[in-house]
């Protein structure tokens, strides 16, 4: 079938006139949700109950229906919503009016506006954005513009900011039942405040898109008001090329995939324009593609294809449609492992609910013979220049699926249809739904607007946080961290712990940074359950180092012990592991003995002998002494031995 993957594409489009705009959505760290008093916690335990809903689109103030909402409605899904009695309420269930907008959520938006030079509006008015895919019990999402304009500089490029908005997060999708056409969501995430930052389509390359997203992410984290972890930040990407349409790719969570998504979408659109140009050269326009759908079930009365036999034996049909002039084009690879036939299959699946399609560019195959292919062509009146698409399912689904294929084929004669797509794990994308229109937005009448006073803005300006880029520069100058280590720590989830330790302990900054970043990563790779280590554990271990009770070399062993026994303290760990630091007199005795036993080695190697002796001494001390102290003592003893030799 046409959605089967094969091959890989590496071709890169050039000179396409690429334009990219980003929309970053970041959850805010607040004490309550945006329109109710519930906490902003996402839970994994069993919910207390669930409710069932169906959603319907509403008309805009101009009497029009948004095409994306209509698309979702036609799918006929029913939605289950799981709730908790203590952390969700009637507002999330849409059984109680929304409360006033959370004031705490507004300040991070104002801080970002100051960072980006955006113009803050005088009064925040929430709007309703129609969304009936089930992700919100109300059938719409509340969103409000806080600021407009501004810009950021990336390398030599100025990237304009269009809007900074505050909106509520959607419900969390838990499962989908295709058989019963139901989807289950959980209400714990619904209503968590989100800041949305939208850029103008000023980005000109995949690498620049990644750089812009990273820079915005660092600014958001600089506010100190955002949540961390997978699922707390999502990116929508708008991509277009010259002669095409704007494609929206929604819900990308991995920043490192952004460049690949943009690159593959640019390639896809370039290939679609090539298909359009080929069709024009062949004299094929949208009017040449008929609405005619033929029943070709009789061709397969003795077919060996399991898919077709199963459909026919269960009372289904095999329908086919002729696409004039499309021969060879359905096999065109648009993205790695995704062809134009895959695009037609996506449309058939979404609009008809079928498993996929077969087409003549890939046949004979899948149990369908060459003879049957020729009989299909004869039945639908196709020539060798035409392609034929067939679907096997019940009659209604088959007709709906092929109607969608016909519409998508007509769009191919014009170029690139505007649509919303979803990212796949390899950076490619698939069709999700039509692009929403202006009809989806209308005023929210249940929530009072919020005035932004000049005094509030002055207070924000007086208390602006340090950006992470500035913090990185300070860490290199004030603490002497290397550029790479400073970059690691400012992007770390343990940044606040690092700063707290540096304020409270007289300790070497590099040791703290290496412990929090490199040591923990290394232990985790070795299978140590570092997730059991709390900030208190890490602080106490470094406090013991600062006080001289623990050698830095023993830190990995102590952290490993605490990960296995998180209820223990550092002193108990020291006693249990035998890593209590030895007295300086004992260290001196060991160094003197090791050096005294190897004077010949020292005389032959000179000061280079220190490296070998260091390993021997540290092995004997088993991490119970500070490496710098040991190195100083060894160097002194080597110097003494060499000076005696010279005499």
Q: pLDDT value at position 618?
A: 65
Claim to verify: residue 279 and residue 388 sit in the same structural domain: yes
Asked, for residue 168, whether it belongs to a domain, the answer is: yes
Helix (H) or strand (E) holding 621: helix 609-621
* Residue 5's pLDDT band (cuts 50, 70, 90): very low
Asked, for residue 596, whether it belongs to a domain, the answer is: yes
Q: pLDDT value at position 505?
A: 92
**Of 551, 577, 603, which one is at a domain's C-terminal end?**
577
Distance CA 128, CA 584 (A): 70
* Residue 372's pLDDT band (cuts 50, 70, 90): very high
Q: For 521-553, what is each residue's pLDDT tens digit?
A: 999 999 999 999 999 999 999 998 887 778 888
Claim to verify: residue 212 and residue 99 sit in the same structural domain: yes
Claim to verify: residue 270 and residue 317 sit in the same structural domain: yes
Tokens 């003795």, residue? Answer: 302
Claim to verify: residue 620 and residue 472 sit in the same structural domain: no
Q: pLDDT value at position 640?
A: 79
Asked, for residue 125, whether it belongs to a domain, the answer is: yes
- Per-residue tokens: 34: 């945006």
Q: pLDDT value at position 348?
A: 96
pTM for the structure as a whole: 0.79
Asked, for residue 250, whether it belongs to a domain, the answer is: no
Asked, for residue 452, whether it belongs to a domain, the answer is: no
Asked, for residue 431, whether it belongs to a domain, the answer is: no
Q: pLDDT value at position 64?
A: 67
331: Cβ contacts below 8 Å, ≥ 6 apart: 339, 340, 341, 361, 362
- In DSSP notation, 238-301 reads EEE-TTS--EEEEEE--GGGHHHHHHHHHHHHHHHHHHHHHHHHTT--GGGS----EE-GGGGT
CA-closest candidate to residue 339, choices 274, 399, 251: 274
Claim to verify: residue 12 and residue 29 sit in the same structural domain: no
> Which stretch of 246-255, 411-420, 626-635 has the lowest confidence by average pLDDT?
626-635
* Residue 112's pLDDT band (cuts 50, 70, 90): very high
The domain tally of the chain equals 4
Tokens 């609910």, residue? Answer: 353
Claim to verify: residue 287 and residue 217 sit in the same structural domain: no
Asked if pLDDT for residue 13 goes beyond 60, the answer is no
Claim to verify: residue 613 and residue 597 sit in the same structural domain: yes
* Mean pLDDT value across residues 257-264: 94
**Of 577, 592, 620, which one is at a domain's C-terminal end?**
577
Claim to verify: residue 217 and residue 356 sit in the same structural domain: no
246: Cβ contacts below 8 Å, ≥ 6 apart: 201, 238, 239, 240, 418, 435
Q: For 204-242, what is each residue's pLDDT tens digit?
A: 999 999 999 999 999 999 999 999 888 899 999 999 999
Q: For 290-342, what is each residue's pLDDT tens digit?
A: 999 999 999 998 899 999 999 999 999 999 999 999 999 999 999 999 999 99
Claim to verify: residue 638 and residue 570 sit in the same structural domain: no
- Per-residue tokens: 421: 């797509």
Distance CA 560, CA 532 (A): 10
Q: pLDDT value at position 581?
A: 57
> Which stretch of 59-68, 363-372, 394-403 has the lowest confidence by average pLDDT?
59-68
* Residue 617's pLDDT band (cuts 50, 70, 90): low
| Residue 161 lies in domain | 19-240
Strands 450-451 and 123-124: what pairing?
antiparallel
* CATH number (domain holding residue 396): 3.30.1360.30
Q: pLDDT value at position 563?
A: 93
Provide the H-helix boundaries in 60-173.
67-74, 106-116
Contact between 498 and 492 under an 8 Å Cβ cutoff? The reply is yes
Helices and strands in the chain: count of H runs, count of E runs:
21, 24
Percent of the chain with pLDDT strictly greater than 90? 70
DSSP category for residue 583: P
**Of 174, 206, 240, which one is at a domain's C-terminal end?**
240
Q: What are phi and psi of 271, to 5 degrees?
A: -70, -35
Claim to verify: residue 609 and residue 545 sit in the same structural domain: no
Claim to verify: residue 270 and residue 288 sit in the same structural domain: yes
Claim to verify: residue 542 and residue 636 sit in the same structural domain: no
Asked, for residue 434, whether it belongs to a domain, the answer is: no
10 Å CB burial of residue 278 (0-12, 13-18, 19+) is middle
């Amino acid at each position: 079938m046409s959605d089967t993957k094969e091959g890989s594409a590496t071709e890169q489009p050039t000179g396409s006139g690429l334009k990219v705009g980003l929309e970053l959505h970041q959850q805010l760290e607040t004490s309550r949700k945006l329109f109710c008093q519930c906490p902003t916690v996402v839970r994994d335990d069993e919910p207390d109950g669930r409710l069932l809903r169906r959603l319907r689109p509403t008309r805009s103030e101009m009497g029009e229906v948004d095409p994306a909402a209509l698309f979702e409605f036609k799918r006929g899904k029913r939605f289950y919503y799981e709730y908790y009695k203590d952390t969700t309420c009637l507002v999330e269930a849409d059984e109680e009016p929304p409360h006033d907008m959370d004031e705490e959520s507004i300040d991070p938006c104002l801080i970002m506006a100051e960072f980006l030079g955006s113009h803050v509006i005088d009064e925040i008015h929430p709007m309703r954005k129609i969304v009936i895919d089930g992700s919100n019990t109300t059938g719409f999402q509340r969103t409000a513009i806080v600021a407009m304009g501004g810009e950021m500089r990336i390398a030599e490029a100025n990237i304009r900011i269009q809007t900074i908005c505050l909106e509520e997060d959607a419900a969390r999708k838990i499962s989908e039942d295709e058989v019963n056409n139901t989807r289950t969501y959980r209400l714990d995430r619904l209503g968590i405040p989100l800041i949305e930052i939208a850029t103008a389509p000023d980005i000109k390359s995949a690498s620049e898109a990644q750089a812009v997203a990273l820079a915005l992410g660092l600014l958001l984290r600089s506010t100190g008001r955002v949540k961390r972890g997978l699922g707390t930040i999502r990116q929508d990407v708008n991509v277009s090329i010259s002669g095409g349409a704007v494609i929206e790719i929604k819900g990308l969570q991995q920043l490192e995939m952004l460049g690949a998504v943009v690159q593959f979408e640019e390639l896809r659109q370039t290939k679609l324009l090539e298909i359009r140009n080929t069709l024009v050269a062949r004299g094929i326009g949208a009017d040449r593609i008929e609405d005619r759908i033929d029943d070709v079930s009789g061709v397969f009365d003795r077919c060996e294809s399991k898919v077709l036999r199963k459909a026919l034996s269960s009372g289904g049909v095999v329908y086919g449609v002729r696409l004039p002039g499309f021969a060879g084009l359905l096999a065109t690879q648009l993205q790695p492992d995704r062809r134009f036939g895959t695009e037609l299959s996506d449309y058939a699946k979404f609009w008809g609910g079928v498993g996929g399609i077969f087409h003549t560019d890939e046949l004979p195959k899948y149990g369908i013979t060459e003879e049957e292919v020729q009989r299909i062509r004869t039945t639908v009146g196709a020539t060798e220049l035409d392609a034929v698409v067939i679907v096997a399912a019940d009659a209604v689904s088959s007709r709906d699926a092929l109607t969608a294929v016909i519409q998508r084929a007509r769009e191919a004669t014009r170029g690139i249809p505007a649509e919303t797509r979803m990212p796949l794990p390899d950076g490619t994308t698939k069709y999700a739904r039509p692009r929403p229109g202006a009809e989806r937005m209308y005023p929210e009448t249940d929530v009072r607007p919020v005035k932004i006073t000049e005094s509030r803005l002055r207070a924000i300006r007086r208390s602006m946080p340090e950006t992470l880029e500035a913090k990185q520069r300070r860490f290199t100058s004030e603490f002497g961290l290397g550029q790479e280590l400073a970059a690691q720590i400012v992007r770390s989830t343990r940044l606040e712990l690092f700063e707290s330790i540096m304020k409270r302990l007289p300790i070497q900054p590099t040791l703290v940074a290496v412990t929090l970043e490199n040591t923990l990563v290394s232990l985790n790779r070795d299978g140590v359950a570092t997730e059991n280590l709390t900030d208190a554990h890490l602080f106490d271990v470094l406090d013991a180092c600062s006080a001289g009770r623990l050698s830095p070399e023993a830190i990995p062993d102590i952290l490993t012990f605490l990960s296995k026994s998180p209820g223990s303290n550092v002193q108990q760990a020291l006693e249990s592991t035998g890593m209590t630091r030895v007295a300086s007199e004992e260290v001196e005795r060991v160094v003197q003995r090791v050096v005294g036993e190897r004077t010949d080695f020292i005389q032959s190697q000179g000061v280079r002998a220190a490296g070998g002796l260091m390993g021997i001494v540290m092995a004997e001390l088993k991490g119970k002494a500070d490496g710098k102290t040991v190195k100083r003592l060894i160097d002194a003893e080597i110097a003494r031995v060499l000076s005696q030799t010279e005499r």
